Chains A and B, each alone.
Chain A
């Protein structure tokens, strides 16, 4: 239970720091870079190193590459749903989540996890 509390607080804090920095930056396209900041990764990999050691964290970071590629695809789809289909931000980000799942698990199925 304590582990999950630590995860929650650490993740929430790191995400909030990047979000505040993103709010302060202009132009908006530059601030958007922080939308793909490694906030969840920093907290999770830090805990993984302490709990399981560097090899476990290295294995997690290998499939994180697939997740990051999926995140880039997801963001592009959100951008097109907003500009071309003219959806609102909330439905666009929720609908595009299917793309993240498809690309991330597709890459994992096709290329496999860390050796």
Chain B
């Protein structure tokens, strides 16, 4: 499947949901600063990768999917959980990219600050997208293998030679 960018999803999001994410993001950044000032740079650095808005995003995705199903007269609880789980799986891969961001920033910021940010962001995007693509390829290959070896697939050869 192609990656798509659609603005229609924005109409589902209410204004207070943006406000909550803005506030959580702001608070997380303030918290990282406060912890860095009180407990030192090493502990403060951990909080640069704090899953600050993850609970708000996952809850939002779950509720949007559930409401979409409920509008169609179906129970959307499971669908909501699956959508949030997919988002979490993507974030796990993004975590690899975030670690790569930190490694590159650490290595390059001493040379040039601008270069440090540009290189780290480029590596974050490249590593995250590559990890997502590789996982997708592996899932497709394992799915095809399972389909080829399943009893129903083998049986179908006798039915439809």
Partner pick for A11 among B25, B43, B106, B109, CB 8 A cutoff: B25
Counting contact residues on chain A (CB < 8 A from B), the size range is 35 or more
- Interface size of B in residues (CB-CB distance below 8 Å): 83
Q: How far is the CB of B37 from chain A (nearest CB, A)?
A: 9
For B23, list chain A residues within 8 Å (CB).
12
Segment 38-59 of A: residues with Cβ below 8 Å from B: 38-49, 54-59
| Closest beta carbon of chain A to B87's beta carbon, Å | 4
Tell me if B92 is interfacial: C-beta within 8 Å of chain A: yes
Identify whether the interface residues of B are mostly helix, strand, loop, or mixed. Answer: helix
Chain B residue with minimal CB distance to A37?
A: B94
Tally of contacts, chain A with chain B, CB under 8 A: 329
- Greatest chain A CB density within 10 A among B53, B78, B84 is at B84
Could you tell me the distance between the alpha carbons of A68 and B41 in the complex, rounded to whole angstroms?
Answer: 16
Contacts of B10 in A (CB 8 A): 20, 23-24
Checking A47, A73, A90, A112 against B59 with a beta-carbon cut-off of 8 angstroms, the contacting residue is A90
Complexed CA–CA distance, A68 and B123 (Å):
14
Which residues of chain B from 31 to 59 have any CB-CB distance to chain A below 8 Å in the complex?
Answer: 32-34, 36, 40-55, 57-59
Contact A62 B46 (CB under 8 A): no
Q: Is B94 a contact of A64 with CB atoms below 8 Å?
A: no
Contacts of A72 in B (CB 8 A): 91-96, 98-99
Query: CA–CA, A74 to B98, complex, Å?
Result: 13
A residues in contact with B49, CB < 8 Å: 36, 38, 40-41, 64, 67-68, 70-71, 104
Pick 14 A–B contacts, CB within 8 A, sort by A. A7-B29, A26-B4, A36-B95, A39-B53, A44-B32, A57-B113, A60-B41, A63-B44, A65-B99, A68-B99, A68-B101, A82-B88, A89-B84, A90-B55
